[in-house]
Amino acid sequence: MTIPDCAFLRLDKAKDVWVDIHVIPNAAHTHADGLHDGALRVRLHAPPVDGKANTALIAWLALSLGVAKSQIELMRGQTSKRKQLKIKANAAIAAKWQNLLENSANKH
C-alpha cells in the first residue's frame, strides 16, 4: 500500500497509517486548515470538553477519508491539541487521502 508522501502521515510495520493532527477547538465549523509543525491543522467546531473534540475529530476524519469511524483510533493526545490517530490498514487502503492533501496544500 502506498500513502501520500507528506509530513503528517506515516505507515507503520502493520500497514496502519498514523495521522498527526494539531486541533484548534471551538471553530465556526470543522475543516482542515493547512499545517502546523508538521501536523495537519484541523479547526473543530466542537468544544474541548468531555471528549467532544476527540469524537468530532474522529467523525470528521472518517467522513473526509470515506472510512468507518470504527477504523480510526485516537492513540495519543486525548487531552492535548496535538493528537495521533491510527487508521487501520484495511481502511487505509481504500481511504481518500486526496481529500486531506487538498486541504493541507499551500497553507502554512
**Residue 18 falls inside a structural domain:** yes
Q: How confident is the chain (108 residues) per 10-residue block, as mean pLDDT?
A: 86 96 95 93 93 95 96 97 97 91 61
23: containing domain: 9-104
**Residue 71 falls inside a structural domain:** yes
Scan for cell 473543530, then name that residue.
44
Cα 107 from Cα 85, distance rounded (Å): 21
pLDDT for 37 equals 94
**Residue 4 falls inside a structural domain:** no
Supply the CATH number for residue 84's domain: 3.30.1200.10
Cα 28 from Cα 85, distance rounded (Å): 23
Residue 83 CA neighbour count, 13 Å, CB half: 28
